[in-house]
Amino acid sequence: MSARTPDHGALDHFVAKWQRREPEMALAEPFCPSAERLRFRAWGALVHELREAVFELSDPAVTAAKSRWWAEELLALADGQGRHPLAAALQEAAVPWPALASAVLATATAEAGRPGDTAAALAQLRPLAEALANAEAALFGAEVGDAGAVAVHLLLHRLPEGLGAEDQARLPLHLLARHGLDASAVAAGRGGALLRDWGRELQAVLPSPKPGQALFRRLRTGFDRARLGRLARGPRFDAPAALPTVLRAWRLARAR
């Protein structure tokens, strides 16, 4: 089957949407080999779209519908028939798209109770995190990254918008109890100390980037560690400044 030619204008729309949320990845892009750059950009945008579909829509019916659509699209990718503008940059790789489709659907439809602690919060996301890690490794021909790093990423990037959502950013109950707060108080801005503790707990369980992993995962894990450091001290939710980000990207890219 012949490959589709990417529609760069449409693809750039989704890449820009992703990079507005994760501006450090735009700064890191020059360190990605040119032959891999299109796939790097498309994968980042795809992960962002899946995260949005599963976690970030306010209407449960819309979440269910969009997650089903994405599951169907991932199955189409497996057959080289993807319709989304990102598909042309991704569908030639031998990636376990069906497993990712199943994980997207399962996570979006799960009746997940509030996690009791950090371990439970990570466990709820483990199936999706593993599917993303496996797909990413196949896409870039790399060792499978630690699914724990992907799960931490998903929890970190629920902040701060998720605090006011139905899942309340999946804050674990032990932190709410420790600080004598409910999630609505945190969403209203009265949970600074709790969020600093959340940043420290996530930072403590975040695996270090490792040589052999895809450059995308090494960069994202290193950047998430920096964000968690700011959350633990701040709390701050934004990415670090450009210069330290570029230096961090350079160091992470060299650690092959």
For residue 10, the model assigns a pLDDT of 86
Tokens (6 digits) for 226: 């920096």
Q: Is the Cβ–Cβ distance between 29 and 40 less than 8 Å? A: yes
Alpha carbon 14 to chain centroid distance? 15
Report pTM: 0.94
Backbone angles phi, psi at 143, to 5 degrees: -65, 150
Measured distance CA(200)–CA(194) in Å, rounded: 10
Structure tokens at 127: 């199936």
Tens-digit pLDDT profile for the chain (256 aa)? Answer: 445 666 678 899 999 999 999 999 999 999 999 999 999 999 999 999 999 999 998 888 999 999 999 999 999 999 989 999 998 889 877 899 999 999 999 999 887 778 999 999 999 999 999 999 999 999 999 999 899 999 999 999 999 999 988 888 999 999 999 999 988 898 888 999 999 999 999 999 999 988 899 999 999 999 999 999 999 998 999 999 999 999 999 999 998 7
At position 94, the amino acid (one-letter code) is A
From its phi and psi, is residue 97 left (phi > 0), alpha (psi between -120 and 50) or beta? alpha
pLDDT at 2: 42
CATH of the domain spanning 10-254 = 1.10.600.10
CB distance 135 to 150 below 8 Å: no
AA letter at 193: A
Strand, helix or coil at 149?
helix
